[in-house]
């Protein structure tokens, strides 16, 4: 199913589990092409939900250079962008990840495991200006491991793709008001990272997962997702 994504989070490929090296960190995924057609910049506060408390917005990301059997990936840095309207209150953002649980089958999207929180929330200041503001939200330093994904967790499930890995990244805001609220900035994937869009609203209190779309399939922005860039390392044991 073709779904709209909030701008993809910036991910940093993590250093190897056993051979960590800052110089060997690589960009595993990047979705930073913006603005979107018609000036669309961000999603509703927490996707499509009407009760944003406990909700995480999760978007699938791909690592086309990972062919499996290498021992996994160490993620060291993830960057997303908060999109604040004028007058938005201060908040904080918590990073989450999940892995693919069952394969995608043509029009049927994959399912995912329960989401896991990573580290501590990152504070985001209030926007006291009269204009919207895009604020980078950075998780990790690009050297130390934020979380590790094993070969078993790196299932690539898109039909017709024979190499690569896929998992989910997402964010939960501490501010649970819809107005003025916060939003994740949206973007199109950079060249080489295109993938079917699968978005989930994940409820941390019930482990509930709801598939949703940011745009209608025939919308010019339908291929957009969360603005994100990720860095990390393959485990090269």
For 13-61, write each residue's pLDDT tens digit.
333 322 333 446 899 999 999 888 877 666 544 444 445 568 888 999 9
Question: Total structural domains in the chain?
Answer: 1
Residue written as token pair 């690569």 = 164
Residue 85 DSSP code: P
Residues 73, 142, 99: CA angle, nearest 5 degrees? 35
Please indicate, yes or no, if residue 73 is contained in any of the structural domains. Answer: yes
Q: What is the pLDDT, as a whole number, of residue 184?
A: 84
Please indicate, yes or no, if residue 1 is contained in any of the structural domains. Answer: no
pTM score, whole prediction? 0.85
Please indicate, yes or no, if residue 3 is contained in any of the structural domains. Answer: no
Q: What is the pLDDT, as a whole number, of residue 42?
A: 63
Residue 232, beta-bridge partner list: 75
Looking at 32-41, 113-122, 164-173, which range is the least confident one?
32-41
Residues in contact with 5: Cβ distance below 8 Å, sequence separation at least 6, in sequence order: 31, 59, 186, 197, 199, 214, 223, 224, 225, 226
Please indicate, yes or no, if residue 86 is contained in any of the structural domains. Answer: yes
Please indicate, yes or no, if residue 2 is contained in any of the structural domains. Answer: no
Q: What is the pLDDT, as a whole number, of residue 176?
A: 66
Residue written as token pair 């860039």 = 229
Domain that includes residue 30, residue range: 9-234
Please indicate, yes or no, if residue 107 is contained in any of the structural domains. Answer: yes
* Higher-scoring residue by pLDDT: 188, 2: 188
Please indicate, yes or no, if residue 62 is contained in any of the structural domains. Answer: yes
116-124 and 26-31 strand pairing: unpaired
């Amino acid at each position: 199913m073709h779904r709209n994504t909030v701008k993809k989070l910036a991910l940093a490929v993590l250093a190897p589990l056993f051979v960590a090296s800052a110089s060997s960190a690589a960009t595993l995924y990047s979705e930073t092409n913006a603005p979107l057609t018609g000036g669309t910049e961000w999603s509703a506060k927490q996707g499509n939900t009407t009760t944003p408390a406990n909700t995480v917005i999760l978007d699938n990301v791909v690592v086309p250079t990972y062919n499996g059997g290498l021992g996994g990936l160490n993620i060291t840095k993830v960057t997303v962008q908060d999109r604040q309207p004028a007058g938005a209150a201060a908040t904080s953002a918590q990073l989450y990840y999940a892995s693919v649980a069952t394969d995608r089958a043509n029009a049927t999207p994959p399912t995912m495991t329960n989401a896991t929180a990573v580290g501590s929330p990152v504070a985001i200041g209030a926007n006291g200006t009269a204009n919207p503001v895009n604020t980078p939200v950075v998780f990790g330093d690009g050297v130390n491991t934020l979380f590790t994904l094993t070969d078993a967790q790196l299932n690539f499930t898109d039909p017709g793709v024979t190499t690569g890995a896929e998992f989910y990244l997402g964010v939960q805001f501490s501010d649970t008001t819809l107005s003025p609220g916060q939003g994740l900035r949206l973007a199109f994937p950079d060249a080489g990272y295109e993938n079917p869009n699968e978005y989930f609203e994940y409820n941390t209190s019930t482990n509930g997962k709801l598939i949703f779309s940011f745009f209608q399939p025939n919308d010019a922005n339908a291929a957009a997702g969360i603005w994100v860039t990720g860095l990390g390392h393959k485990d090269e044991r």
